[in-house]
């Protein structure tokens, strides 16, 4: 009986891990309006954010975001990616840039123009006109918001779906944008799912 249960669990894990999923999308200040921005980021070119979210073979998800602002503007200072309720900082596995996980204050000197407080991952000192960040986490993607600030006061950007008292869409993740929202880390998987994914990853490693 135990062998049978193990075989079923293994098959389930292989099924989960074999079906790699990638969701991608983009928002821009022009021509397809999806970003609200100020200052040079609005007046001297196009500001964009692109994302690619991929399921990894070990059950984690890889999150990649590229923020690009006009070259004539000053560097990007920081980028905040919202995390949904239920996300846990302990489930961050790897990252390319230093970050802080907290509830970041909106309409403040730290985040001018940000419509309201936002819980999420803040990546600091990015220094560049086009910056790509990547991290892996035990967190499936859901719809949410972002905010970015430049080195110069008055250069800020956020998705148009991010407003005061904003309610993020609850629809399943997909390609493109939904109501001018982006894909962000959601709740961590249930313990039973984590066990299945971990078992599948272990079996795959042994087969290799």
Summarised one tens digit per residue, pLDDT across range 88-105 is 888 899 999 999 999 999
Contact 184, 120 (CB under 8 A): yes
User: What is the percent of the chain with per-residue pLDDT over 70, rounded to a whole number?
Assistant: 82
Q: Is the pLDDT of residue 203 over 50?
A: no
SS3 category, 96? coil
- Residue 12 neighbours by CB under 8 Å, 6+ apart: 196, 200
Q: Which two tokens stand for residue 203?
A: 């079996």
The helix/strand/coil state of 191 is helix
The model's pTM is 0.83
* Domain segments of the chain as ranges: 21-188
> What is the arithmetic mean of pLDDT over 160-179?
94
Cα angle 183, 158, 135 (rounded to 5 degrees) comes to: 40
What is the CATH architecture of 21-188? Answer: Sandwich (2.60)
Q: What is the pLDDT of residue 3?
A: 43
pLDDT at 187 over 60: yes
Please check the confidence at residue 85 and state whether its pLDDT lies above 50: yes
| Sheet with 146-150, edge to edge strand ranges | 35-37, 156-159, 146-150, 76-82, 118-124, 99-104
**Beta strand segments in the chain, E:** 22-28, 35-37, 48-55, 61-68, 76-82, 92-95, 99-104, 118-124, 130-137, 141-144, 146-150, 156-159, 182-185
Q: Mean pLDDT across the chain, nearest whole number?
A: 85
- pLDDT band of 192, cuts 50, 70, 90: very low
Q: Which residues contact 192 (CB under 8 A, 6 or more apart)?
A: none
Across 178-195, average pLDDT: 79
pLDDT of 5 higher than 50: no
Separation of first and last alpha carbons in the chain: 27
């Amino acid at each position: 009986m135990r062998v049978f249960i193990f075989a079923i669990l293994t098959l389930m894990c292989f099924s989960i891990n074999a079906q790699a999923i990638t969701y991608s999308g983009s928002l821009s200040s022009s021509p397809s309006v999806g970003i609200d921005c100020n200052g040079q980021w609005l007046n001297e070119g196009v500001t964009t954010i692109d994302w690619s979210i991929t399921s990894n073979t070990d059950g984690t998800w890889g999150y990649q975001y590229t923020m690009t602002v006009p070259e004539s503007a000053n560097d990007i200072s920081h980028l905040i990616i919202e995390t949904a309720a239920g996300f846990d900082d302990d489930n961050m596995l790897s990252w390319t840039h230093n970050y802080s996980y907290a509830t970041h204050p909106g309409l403040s000197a730290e985040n001018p123009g940000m419509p309201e407080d936002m819980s999420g991952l803040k990546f600091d000192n990015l220094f560049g006109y086009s910056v790509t960040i990547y991290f892996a986490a035990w967190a499936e993607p859901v719809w949410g918001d972002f905010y970015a600030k430049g080195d110069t006061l008055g250069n800020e950007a956020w998705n148009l779906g991010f407003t005061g008292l904003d309610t993020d869409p609850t629809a399943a993740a997909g390609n493109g944008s939904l109501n001018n929202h982006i894909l962000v880390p959601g709740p961590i998987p249930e313990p039973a799912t984590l066990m299945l994914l971990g078992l599948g990853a272990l079996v795959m490693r042994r087969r290799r």
